[in-house]
Amino acid sequence: MKPTITITTDFGDSFAAAQLKAVLASENFDGQVIENHDVTDFSITEGAFQILTLTKFSPVNTVHIGVIDPGVGSQRSGIVIRSNKFWFVGPDNGLLYPAAINDGIKKIWKINENKVNSRISTTFHGRDVFIKAGIYLAQRKLPEDFGSSLIDANKITKLSFIQGQVVHTDSYGNLKIYAKNGFKEGKSLTFSKNSEKIATVRVVRTFADVAKGEPLALLGSSGTLELAVNLGNAAKHYSIKTGDILDLELH
């Protein structure tokens, strides 16, 4: 099987993404590349959720590269994580942690950037460091082969999703919400923000269980609770965005 690399970024434009593809070509990478450049700007939480979701469908030994990196060029480290089934490469800002800990962290390395590339921009470590490190791993090199050094797994930045946190808003305006409690169909669910009630909706199985324009809640395909409007846009309707934290009351 050819190696697989996933790339998750908040670039939003094809110019930055094209440069990553150029590096892949220059390093003769001929495996599968799965790209997602639509993470909300600077949203480490959303990027972490999307990387975690990708791991559920990726083959063993996939290299997951994350580049949501507001601290690029600062003192924050670049890291490589080996979990039970995958490699992760990116900044040490919590982005990689939920996916890695979910699969079981085995080892973590700090990247020696100057051993990866002798010419590094202070604003584009995705191109100059992370993509190259990811290619090396996909080509079965070890982190030590490109100068990385083992670090204590407890020393990296950890990120946890918060109950009621909107971790993604899709193009339809459906709000994907992290929620650990079970939400049974047929119940009602009240959403509040900053102690102010937003809506009370029915928990249903499918969008079609309510009339056009009616709000609803359901369990979505990514394992999250979703607040939606059938054939409408819940994010716009309720003025809720990715990162917001909602109070949830089932009754």
The residues spanned by each domain of the chain are 4-155, 166-250
φ and ψ at residue 50, rounded to 5 degrees: -70, -35
Question: pLDDT of 88-147, one tens digit each?
Answer: 999 999 999 999 999 999 999 999 999 999 999 999 999 999 999 999 999 999 999 999
CA–CA dist 126, 68 (Å, integer): 9
Residue range 166-250 forms a domain whose CATH class is mainly beta
Here the tokens at position 113 are: 């950037």
CA–CA dist 82, 86 (Å, integer): 6
pLDDT of residue 125: 98
Residue that the structure tokens 């110019």 belong to: 15
pLDDT of residue 123: 96
Asked if the model's pLDDT at residue 185 lies above 90, the reply is no
Asked if the model's pLDDT at residue 248 lies above 90, the reply is yes
Same fold yes or no, 4-155 and 166-250: no
pLDDT-based confidence at residue 183 (cuts at 50, 70, 90): confident
Q: What is the DSSP string of 185-204?
A: TT-EEEEEETTEEEEEEEB-
**Taking the CA of residue 98 as centre, how many other CA atoms within 13 Å lie in the half-sphere pointing to its CB?**
21
pLDDT of residue 79: 98
Asked if the model's pLDDT at residue 21 lies above 80, the reply is yes
pLDDT of residue 240: 95
Q: What percent of the chain has pLDDT over 90?
A: 93
Here the tokens at position 97 are: 């942690």
Prediction pTM value: 0.95
Return the higher-pLDDT residue of 184 and 28: 28
pLDDT-based confidence at residue 250 (cuts at 50, 70, 90): confident
H-helix segments, the chain:
14-26, 44-55, 97-103, 113-116, 125, 131-138, 234-238
Q: What is the mean pLDDT of the chain?
A: 96
Asked if the model's pLDDT at residue 181 lies above 80, the reply is no
pLDDT of residue 186: 86
Asked if the model's pLDDT at residue 182 lies above 80, the reply is no
Over residues 191-205, the mean pLDDT reads 93
Identify the architecture of domain 4-155 in CATH. Answer: 3-Layer(aba) Sandwich (3.40)
**For residues 226 and 247, is the Cβ–Cβ distance under 8 A?**
no
Does an H or E element contain 81, and which? strand 78-83
